[in-house]
Structure 1
């Protein structure tokens, strides 16, 4: 809990903490609510919100006197995206993962009923196909890369995604039955990862895990290999490394310190670790 009176540095930290408190569950603050949540006096909470609104980081509703995020947040976010955004954040982690597993590593984020690849790094064997992965989209019902994201959505969102939506068949292995897809999603949540072989791309197999920002799944991290390429290990053996990388990316996106290191995945494969996700 924050205390009064603050030093100048504490004031800055307090303002940043207020901005970071906005999420999909908390879209606005009232003065009294903020004061109670952060242990402030009413006058301090009012001055803090007013100062953020003056700079455009918050916007006050003139009727309810409640505060929401303002246009300065959009400007800051746009600048971050122009500087590479999520892709720039993920690429160093993907490079380590691809180098350590000899597979192609992908980071995909949602785009409607699909996920779109925004960052990709080839493994030691080089590109596994002629055209790049960047910009590729993967439908929710076909393949591990998309299922690792959509399976972890809140149940109502997941149900709306599957209900009554026509599903294309990309290979003889593509599942299109709604009940069977629901069971696949449930199994993915139970296991903490998704695996597929030829559901979307008949020539490839993949294993994927979700990536979170706080409590919300924001995409998936996957390893892909050509079904005809021989490796010294099976793709599923790279799951601990994949989970470790997804945890590291989730930590970055959630603005939290890195978790304690797990056992080095190269030293053997014991029981599967706890699925990555909100901690």
Structure 2
């Protein structure tokens, strides 16, 4: 008797689902750091416990879309132009500012002072977010978009002081330096001494260097070991006696929290 045909064999599902592939691609992008700026196929496979063919396919796919670039000589992969474009779009559309606002609001409410988050813009830092405490803003006009020159004020010095000295001097040496008041430092050697003192202290303080009517305390914001901007706490001189230094621990904690969130390690 002729045997009846058995059921058709079922197609075995792929061991890697589309969602798992997406997650692995995101893991790769998130794995780049200042100390890990490129990956080889074998190195990446060992890092995540994947087989080499999986690592190769993922890296090649990301490179084909411009999220990575491959060095034809070393065959190592580093971040590509699409990552830069997305980061620029995010910052310019206000995404970075919105991301910082919750942390800044907590600090403004606790201190009562004006909080500014600034990021580098050539030989300046540019304010991208401001949150005022109960004492109000240090300025009648909005600060968002204001450029703070590298040589004047705590907001800019808290960023530029922590750059590599040779890079900083390359950016600033020989540039005209406007004097905003009697306390503005324009001499390059004296300015380098201020930068060195800021690094030693871990924070910057100004009492009218940039705006003669205000004073400010500022600290760097780090993502990993990279300095990406500054967070400052300011007040008008006419409001009350100078007690900004009492808020330094809270300011440092807020900068750390913001850096952790930007690094993707803390979202709550």
TM bin, normalised by shorter chain, reads 0.7 to 0.9
Distance 1:81 1:164, change over 3 A: closer
The Cα of 1:153 is off from its aligned counterpart by 1.0
Q: Superposed, which structure 2 residues align to 1:170-181 within 5 Å?
A: 170-181=180-191
Aligned to 1:237: 246
The one of 222, 231, 246 equivalent to 2:255 is 246
Q: 1 CA distance for matches of 2:88 and 2:179?
A: 37
Q: 2 CA distance for matches of 1:184 and 1:81?
A: 30
The Cα of 1:225 is off from its aligned counterpart by 0.6
The Cα of 1:32 is off from its aligned counterpart by 4.0
Q: Secondary structure at the match of 2:118?
A: strand
Q: 2 CA distance for matches of 1:59 and 1:185?
A: 36
TM-score, normalised to structure 2's length? 0.82
| 2:118–2:229 contact (8 Å) kept in structure 1 | yes
Q: Secondary structure at the match of 2:182?
A: coil
Q: 2 CA distance for matches of 1:56 and 1:113?
A: 30
| 1:167–1:176 contact (8 Å) kept in structure 2 | yes
Distance 1:164 1:56, change over 3 A: closer
The Cα of 1:68 is off from its aligned counterpart by 3.9
Q: Secondary structure at the match of 1:221?
A: strand
Aligned to 2:99: 89
Q: Secondary structure at the match of 2:197?
A: helix
Q: 1 CA distance for matches of 2:200 and 2:225?
A: 17
Q: 1 CA distance for matches of 2:124 and 2:153?
A: 11
| 2:155–2:204 contact (8 Å) kept in structure 1 | yes
Count matched residues.
254
Q: Secondary structure at the match of 1:171?
A: coil
Aligned to 1:218: 228
Aligned to 1:108: 118
Aligned to 2:11: none
The one of 62, 72, 77 equivalent to 1:52 is 62
The Cα of 1:137 is off from its aligned counterpart by 0.8
Q: 2 CA distance for matches of 1:257 and 1:134?
A: 25
**Is there any run of 5+ residues in structure 1 with no aligned partner, and where?**
259-279
The Cα of 1:83 is off from its aligned counterpart by 5.2
Aligned to 1:263: none
Q: Secondary structure at the match of 1:115?
A: strand
Distance 1:162 1:54, change over 3 A: closer
Aligned to 1:16: 26
Does 2:201 correspond to 1:194?
A: no
Larger radius of gyration: 2
The Cα of 1:8 is off from its aligned counterpart by 7.1
Q: 2 CA distance for matches of 1:86 and 1:211?
A: 13
The one of 75, 80, 103 equivalent to 2:90 is 80
**Is there any run of 5+ residues in structure 2 with no aligned partner, and where?**
1-14
| 1:209–1:222 contact (8 Å) kept in structure 2 | yes
